[in-house]
Amino acid sequence: MNAYVQKVYEGLKARNAHETEFLQAAYEILTSISPVFDKHPEFEKAGLLDRFVEPERVILFRVPWIDDKGQVQVNRGYRVQFNSAIGPYKGGLRLHPSVNLSVIKFLGFEQILKNSLTGLPIGGGKGGSDFDPKGKSDNEVMRFCQSFMTELYRYIGKDVDVPAGDIGVGAREIGFLYGQYKRITGLYEGVLTGKGLTYGGSLARKEATGFGLCYFLNAMLKRNGLSAEGKRVVISGSGNVAIYACQKITQMGGKVVAMSDSNGYIVDENGINLDVVKQIKEVERGRIREYADRVPGSVYTEGCRQIWTVKCDIALPCATQNELDLEGAKALVANGVIAVAEGANMPSTLDATSYLQENKVLFGPAKAANAGGVATSALEMSQNSQRLSWSFDEVDSKLKGIMENIFASVDSAAREYGSEGNYVVGANIAGFLKVSNAMMAQGAV
């Protein structure tokens, strides 16, 4: 590692010793972009990296709400506005009990580079709460969202910071958050993305992350003389990203044989029946184990981590961070996997990523492979600003073009910096170059 980069990383460790997820993401990014600092000594003089690793602003707040029994509940809300060098902050809101400052900082840090890779003018941010929507009534979720927005509204705006969905935040939550923002501010503006189609949402936003993942994967396979046709695919998760990845890869000729949720996974050798998954997950908000009761011949196994032992050619981790560890990577390699593309954010641990790369598995890192969601969110912002709505095909074809461009720039950055085929290095460098350039131009701010 370049001496300056190493020094900044040591400082980061000392100041944020307890933030394990953030340090994990920072280590991966800093290791990759180190060669850029060898080429650009002026970055050190400008303290560029010292500034880059520190969020511009962290907002932490109390979220009190009243449950259906009339009891007061208190959660913690977060918004990390990490970097606005190339545009207003943009990044999702996550509602999950595992949310803490370290998780939100790692997601926000990754988001800076991801947003840069899309080629669109959006900075990096992330937010959320340790509230668990699972098992809550619609009214409880609404009261929580209204309370959350009552604090957050003063820090966001269509040209300031535009949050979106993430784990636990789908159309229902975005609707409640948007309603409260409008009620407090009186503004009908594109302050959130992932909105419903009747009030400013974009066609194809729901599908965008999963579809985009498959467009990226396809470009990566093609570059290496391969295709998805006839391949066995395993997808972890059964939420928004997983469902639409399953739909697109099936259209591309792949056969998805396994999906999961946080309790366990199902294997269906006939190919997953996505209508059943959508009914269970999108309509009934149920558990994946119910699939086995409805589809003869499919098998449910309790515990989600073993999903990587299911034999496949292509693995798409689409659930959560650190879900694919070294043991999982070894099982995939032993079963002859040829490609892994990350739909979730940082689903692979550092040693799992290295193991897959050492074993010549094509590896598409999250910040490039799952950038389709935020790219389409930026398209939603454009439509809101123009007071227009584009057709599904128009948005989908722009998404496809963006994902192919992302792959091309990742591929060429990897080559230019002497790491051909290493798309982790390529994605970090390609994303960083644009942001660093903008930060240099704007002075020490």
Q: Which residues does the annotation mark as catalytic? A: 126
Closer to ligand NDP by Cβ: residue 140 or 323? 323
Closer to ligand NDP by Cβ: residue 313 or 323? 323
Residue 390: strand, helix, or coil:
coil
Residue 89: strand, helix, or coil:
strand
Binders in 329-388 for ligand NDP, by CB under 6 A? 343-345, 370, 373
Q: For the chain, what's the residue count?
A: 445
By CB under 6 A, which span of 149-157, 223-231, 312-320, 418-426 interacts with ligand NDP? 312-320
Binders in 89-118 for ligand NDP, by CB under 6 A? 98
Q: Where are the alpha helices (DSSP H) in 59-170?
A: 101-117, 138-152
For position 324 contacting ligand NDP by CB under 6 A, the verdict is no
**Among residues 28, 110, 161, 166, the one that binds ligand NDP under rule CB under 6 A:** 166
**Among residues 219, 319, 378, 424, the one that binds ligand NDP under rule CB under 6 A:** 319
Residue 40 CA to residue 50 CA, distance in Å, equals: 15
Closer to ligand NDP by Cβ: residue 4 or 109? 109
For position 202 contacting ligand NDP by CB under 6 A, the verdict is no
Closer to ligand NDP by Cβ: residue 77 or 372? 372
For position 55 contacting ligand NDP by CB under 6 A, the verdict is no
Closer to ligand NDP by Cβ: residue 239 or 426? 239
For position 268 contacting ligand NDP by CB under 6 A, the verdict is no
Q: Which DSSP string do the residues of 247-262 spell out, in sequence order?
A: HHHHHTT-EEEEEE-S
Taking CB atoms, the residue at the shortest distance from ligand NDP is: 239
Please write down the HEC assignment for all residues of 350-384: HHHHHHHHHCCCEEECHHHHCCHHHHHHHHHHHHH
For 302, counting Cβ atoms within 10 Å of its Cβ (0-12 exposed, 13-18 middle, 19+ buried), the class is: exposed
For 363, counting Cβ atoms within 10 Å of its Cβ (0-12 exposed, 13-18 middle, 19+ buried), the class is: buried
DSSP 168: T
Please give the residue ranges that form the binding site for ligand NDP (CB under 6 A).
98, 165-168, 209, 237-242, 261-263, 304, 318-320, 323, 343-345, 370, 373
